[in-house]
């Protein structure tokens, strides 16, 4: 509801020129510095501007002159609408593979979001590398994109229609895991996913046996090596997740309930912006395999793999 209310305050022309699909809004954003990769008309930026509050800040980066011009035109309008004394938002021209070249400083953002944009980049490793550089320690890359069940053929990659449909640029999900590790991110945590169907027979014939999903992952810039399991208690109260916080497809934390988590999640929670929202308890005794059984989304059964990695 709070996101719907924020969207209602975005100028109609900004919304009309928005070409993204869905929403990419992580939790616990008050006071954060956020970067939107491929911000377009700025709809998500203006919505996030309200969620971070006047003490937070949102930067949108896009390579398209027309979209940037439109987004910048309505800065003053929205600041007045939100009741802010000074702008907490700006728009930068540049490429998502070259964030520092666009003037964005290293270690300067708490959260980076992206909505179905990374697949349009020809150099996804550079996108992740640049994102890692401009994130603060403990920062998060929270993004939604298209993934395939294998490495796509050159014929598919070079197909203009499939490229425009965000399929030709889809990354094999295993490659995302490898790229994230090479860049330095924590292992990607799957949040949500859904199967993508292709109804056009001609395009389906070109795609053959390749299948696709739309998935949201969260990657964190946290220290390596801390792998001890522990028990955590979600203190509750995060905006939009007051009673229950879905961290990913494996862990949903209910307020004031003790949950045993694996070392990977414990490391993320203790070193990220979520640290103050949890109480941590050591397991006691020798650290062994976590007793929590992961949830495997049925959406990935056709890939014959477990996306809980």
8 Å CB contact between 58 and 88: yes
pLDDT band at 289 (very low <50, low <70, confident <90, very high): very low
pLDDT exceeds cutoff 90 at 267: yes
Kindly give, in sequence order, each residue whose CB lies less than 8 Å from that of residue 127, ignoring residues fewer than 6 positions away.
Answer: 37, 96, 97, 118, 121
8 Å CB contact between 48 and 38: no
Average pLDDT over residues 149-175: 95
Question: How far apart are the C-alpha atoms of 34 and 68, rounded to whole Å?
Answer: 17
Burial of 172 (0-12, 13-18, 19+ CB in 10 A): middle
* Maximum alpha-carbon separation in the chain: 60
Question: How far apart are the C-alpha atoms of 130 and 93, rounded to whole Å?
Answer: 15
CATH of segment(s) 230-303: 3.40.5.100
Beta bridge partners of 215: 145, 193
Q: Give the CATH class of 2-224.
A: alpha beta
Write down the domain spans for the chain.
Answer: 2-224, 230-303
- Residues 233-249 pLDDT 10s: 999 999 999 999 999 99
- Enter the pTM of the model: 0.91
Residue 21 is predicted with a pLDDT of 67
Please check whether the two domains, 2-224 and 230-303, share a CATH topology.
no
Average pLDDT over residues 211-233: 92
- Among residues 251, 278, 260, the alpha carbon closest in space to that of 190 is found at 251
- Residues 93-125 pLDDT 10s: 999 999 999 999 999 999 999 998 999 999 999
């Amino acid at each position: 509801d709070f996101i719907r209310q924020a969207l209602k305050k975005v100028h109609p022309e900004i919304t009309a020129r928005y070409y993204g699909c869905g929403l990419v809004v992580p939790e616990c954003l008050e006071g954060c510095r956020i970067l939107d990769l491929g911000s377009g008309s700025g709809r998500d930026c203006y919505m996030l501007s309200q969620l971070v509050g006047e003490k937070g800040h949102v930067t949108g980066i896009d390579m398209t002159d027309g979209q940037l011009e439109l987004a910048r035109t309505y800065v003053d309008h929205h600041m007045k609408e939100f009741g802010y004394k000074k702008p907490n938002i700006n728009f930068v021209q540049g490429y998502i593979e070259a964030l520092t070249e666009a003037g964005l400083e290293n270690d300067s953002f708490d959260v980076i979001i992206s909505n179905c944009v990374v697949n349009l980049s020809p150099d996804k490793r550079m996108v992740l590398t640049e994102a890692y550089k401009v994130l603060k320690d403990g920062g998060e890359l929270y993004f939604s994109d298209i993934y395939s069940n294998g490495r796509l053929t050159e014929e598919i990659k070079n197909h203009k229609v499939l490229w425009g449909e965000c399929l030709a640029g889809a990354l094999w999900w295993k490659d995302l895991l490898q790229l994230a590790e090479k860049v330095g991110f924590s292992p990607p945590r799957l949040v949500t996913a859904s199967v993508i169907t292709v109804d056009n027979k001609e395009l389906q014939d070109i795609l053959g046996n390749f299948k696709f999903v739309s998935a949201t992952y969260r990657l964190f810039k946290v220290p390596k090596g801390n792998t001890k399991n522990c028990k955590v208690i979600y203190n509750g109260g995060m905006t939009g997740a007051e009673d229950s916080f879905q961290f990913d497809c494996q862990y949903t934390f209910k307020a004031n309930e003790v949950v045993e988590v694996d070392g990977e999640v414990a490391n993320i929670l203790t070193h990220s912006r979520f640290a103050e929202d949890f109480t941590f308890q050591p397991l006691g005794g020798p650290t062994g395999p976590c007793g929590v059984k992961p949830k495997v989304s049925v959406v990935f059964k056709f890939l014959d793999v477990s996306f809980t990695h």
